[in-house]
């Protein structure tokens, strides 16, 4: 608990905001400053003498990096962080990261300065030409569609209450980012001297609890299901969902597929883990549990049996924020996913003999199938003699070298089906919103949160460039963050290339030597970008050198505690 003197009175709204953020256990303010930051900078300068509890400032030389670092920090800790950027231009740069956070239900307290409204003698009024050029009628509109709540500070004495409200909304399920605009006059305005800041005013809302009647309906359907399947897409940072899925699916022999996971839920060694492609089991399943998955399958390639029962579970199982989403459901259960599975398991205790399936035989069969899948993935990832390295080979080799508790952030880089993860929350991928440039700064945020855990950014060459790598490497050096970055360099925008071939498999593009608008040639020497910030770096072109290079890089980040980059040349296929 962050304590303040009972009679503490902030000096300005800026001081009230910083103190209140820390009272909500927000440890860091990721910031890209501008002329609107003067009141905040003054409080940080003052605090060198007063030592009030306020968030530690982290300078991010690009706004996208600031938001993604807060995103990664939350994934590693379950604790939301604050971001502040410069008026409309900074907010525009932060938009892509905000879209990613909204898509993945990541709570971030986002703030932006607001160009001064007044032209006169008021303290904080316009004083530079940009204060006219950066003015907007509605700056909040930039992010309004992607935040749960937004407001603009009007008076200094509102500051603490607005932080309370924004934090409570961000952390109430389904979680997500919130936004507070900060006009410079109000931000630097004096707090009323006869008004103590007082205690926090708003509690986070309790999560939606499973409806007993709906749980009873699902229980009966589970008992009669012959081929059930659970599809998961994201975990929770606290690991409660991983524990719940582990226990529930193990107890009732329910196989699990993690389709395009933004955070893995199960250990890949789990007997019920069936990989990352629902196509292998979906068409045969007679009951499908969709566990908080925006996109549980792709109808273009595979869809459930029309007679199958489809149960969607989540804080918002309809994903009401998304305008069009046609994945059908027989039953929708509005509930925290972990709480829902715990309720289902408790309701089924003592009823194993009422299942239509022999659960022991089903468990043994699924365990055998899971083991065979892992064996096949190992065989597929073998490097063929004389061939260029594949992403599969690099993914497996990296997985073999990493410590069990490493945390991997992948953005069009490694392929999880060829990797081993010892537990949930060991693999994170970009949100389905697909705003590129997320992987490297998100891994930086996790490295800041847990410095003794190896954080790895596995990114494609295009994703690496989108991340503003000069800014990211500067952050790593400035804050002594021992990040390992692995760049999968295939020289193309492979997502663009693959989607074109997917849509026109026999088209002219399929016969072109270079598909238009997909080439990244001439590719920069990425190792030099890391070296510019005194990072260790190496380029690997031969598969026989890869394992040794990875071990050298891991030694740098674990023993020397500094950043390392591997640029690995891979085939685009």
> Residue 468, class by beta-carbon neighbours within 10 Å (0-12 exposed, 13-18 middle, 19+ buried)?
buried
Would you say residue 195 lies in a domain? no
Would you say residue 194 lies in a domain? no
Closest CA to 196 of 163, 168, 152, 160: 160
| Chosen domain end from 356, 373, 390 | 373
* CB neighbour list of residue 8: distance below 8 Å, 6 or more residues apart: 19, 196, 197
Residues 112, 183, single domain; the answer is yes
Distance CA 319, CA 332 (A): 11
Would you say residue 218 lies in a domain? yes
| Chosen domain end from 373, 395, 412 | 373
Distance CA 194, CA 241 (A): 47
Residues 28, 113, single domain; the answer is yes
Residues 357, 500, single domain; the answer is no
- CA distance readout (Å), 389 to 186, 326, 385, 515, 521: 57, 39, 10, 21, 19
Q: Which domain holds residue 449?
A: 381-569
Residues 365, 385, single domain; the answer is no
What is the number of structural domains in the chain? 3
CATH of the domain at 302: 3.40.50.1220
Return per-residue pLDDT of the chain as tens, 573 residues: 577 877 789 999 999 999 999 999 999 999 999 999 999 999 999 988 888 899 999 999 999 999 999 999 999 999 999 999 999 999 999 999 999 999 999 999 999 999 998 998 889 889 989 999 999 999 999 999 999 999 999 999 999 999 999 999 999 999 999 999 999 999 999 999 888 898 899 999 999 999 999 999 999 999 999 999 999 999 999 999 999 999 999 999 999 999 999 999 999 999 999 999 999 899 999 999 999 999 999 998 899 999 999 999 999 999 999 999 999 999 999 999 999 999 999 999 999 999 999 999 999 999 999 999 999 999 999 876 556 899 999 999 999 999 999 999 999 999 999 999 999 999 999 999 989 999 999 999 999 999 999 999 999 999 999 999 999 999 999 999 999 999 999 887 677 777 787 788 888 777 777 777 777 788 899 999 999 999 999 999 999 999 999 999 999 999 999 999 999 999 887
Residues 299, 386, single domain; the answer is no
Distance CA 237, CA 241 (A): 9
**201-238 per-residue burial string, b: 16 or more CB within 10 A, e: under 16:** eeeeeeebebeeebbebbbebbeebebbbbbbbbbbbe
User: Is-contact 209 31, C-beta < 8 A?
Assistant: no
Would you say residue 192 lies in a domain? no
Distance CA 559, CA 573 (A): 35
* CB neighbour list of residue 29: distance below 8 Å, 6 or more residues apart: 18, 21, 55, 56, 57, 58, 81, 82, 83, 84
CATH of the domain at 500: 3.40.50.970
Residues 159, 219, single domain; the answer is no
Residues 286, 424, single domain; the answer is no
Residues 305, 352, single domain; the answer is yes
Residues 400, 369, single domain; the answer is no
* CB neighbour list of residue 37: distance below 8 Å, 6 or more residues apart: 31, 84, 86, 113
| Chosen domain end from 373, 402, 435 | 373
Residues 415, 456, single domain; the answer is yes
Would you say residue 397 lies in a domain? yes
Would you say residue 115 lies in a domain? yes
Residues 341, 233, single domain; the answer is yes
**350-377 per-residue burial string, b: 16 or more CB within 10 A, e: under 16:** eeeeebebeeeebbeebbebbeebbeeb
Distance CA 87, CA 35 (A): 9
Would you say residue 199 lies in a domain? no
Residues 338, 238, single domain; the answer is yes
């Amino acid at each position: 608990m962050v304590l303040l003197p009972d009679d503490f009175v902030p000096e300005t709204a800026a001081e009230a905001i910083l103190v209140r953020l820390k009272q909500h256990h927000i440890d860091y303010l990721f910031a890209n400053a501008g002329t609107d930051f003067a009141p905040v900078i003054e409080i940080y300068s003052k605090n060198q003498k007063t030592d009030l509890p306020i968030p530690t400032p982290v300078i991010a030389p690009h706004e996208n990096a600031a938001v993604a670092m807060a995103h990664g920090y939350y994934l590693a800790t379950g604790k939301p962080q604050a971001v502040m950027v410069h008026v409309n231009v900074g907010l525009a740069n932060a938009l892509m990261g905000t879209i990613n956070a909204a898509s993945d239900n990541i709570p971030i307290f986002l703030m932006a300065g607001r160009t001064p409204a007044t032209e006169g003698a008021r303290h904080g009024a316009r004083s530079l030409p940009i204060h006219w050029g950066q003015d907007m009628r509605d700056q909040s509109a930039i992010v309004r569609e992607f935040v749960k709540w937004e407001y603009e500070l009007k008076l200094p004495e509102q500051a603490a209450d607005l932080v309370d409200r924004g934090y409570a909304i961000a952390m109430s399920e389904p979680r997500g980012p919130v936004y507070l605009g900060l006009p410079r006059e109000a931000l630097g305005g004096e707090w009323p001297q006869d008004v103590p800041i007082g205690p926090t005013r708003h509690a986070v809302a309790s999560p939606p609890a499973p409806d007993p009647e709906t749980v009873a309906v699902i229980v009966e359907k589970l008992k009669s299901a012959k081929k059930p399947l659970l599809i998961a897409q994201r975990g929770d940072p606290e690991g409660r969902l991983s524990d719940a899925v582990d226990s529930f699916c193990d107890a009732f022999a329910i196989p699990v597929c993690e389709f395009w996971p933004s955070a893995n839920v199960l250990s890949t060694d789990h007997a019920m883990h069936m990989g990352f492609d629902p196509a292998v089991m979906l068409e045969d399943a007679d009951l499908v549990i969709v566990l908080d998955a925006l996109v549980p399958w792709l109808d273009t390639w595979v869809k459930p049996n029309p007679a199958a029962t489809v149960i969607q579970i989540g804080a918002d199982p309809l994903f009401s924020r998304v305008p069009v989403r046609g994945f059908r459901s027989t039953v929708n259960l509005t509930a925290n996913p972990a709480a829902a599975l715990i309720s289902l398991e408790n309701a089924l205790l003592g009823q194993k003999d009422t299942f239509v399936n022999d659960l022991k035989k089903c468990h043994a069969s699924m365990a055998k199938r899971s083991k065979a899948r892992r064996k096949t993935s190992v065989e597929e990832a073998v490097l063929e003699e004389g061939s260029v390295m594949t992403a599969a080979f690099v993914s497996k080799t990296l997985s073999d070298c990493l410590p069990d508790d490493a945390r991997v952030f992948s953005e069009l880089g490694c392929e999880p089906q060829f990797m081993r993860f010892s537990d949930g929350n060991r693999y994170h991928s970009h949100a389905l919103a697909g705003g590129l440039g997320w992987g490297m700064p998100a891994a930086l945020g996790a490295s800041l949160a847990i410095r003794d855990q190896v954080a790895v950014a596995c990114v494609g060459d295009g994703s690496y460039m989108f991340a503003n790598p000069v800014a990211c490497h500067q952050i790593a050096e400035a804050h002594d963050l021992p990040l390992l970055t692995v760049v999968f360099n295939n020289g193309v925008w492979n997502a663009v290339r693959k989607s074109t071939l997917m849509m026109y498999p026999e088209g002219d593009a399929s016969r072109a030597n270079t598909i238009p608008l997909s080439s990244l040639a001439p590719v920069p020497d990425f190792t030099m970008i890391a070296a510019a910030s005194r990072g260790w770096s190496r380029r690997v072109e031969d598969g026989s050198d890869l394992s040794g290079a990875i071990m050298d890089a891991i030694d740098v980040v674990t023993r020397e505690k500094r950043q390392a980059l591997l640029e690995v040349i891979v085939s685009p296929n």
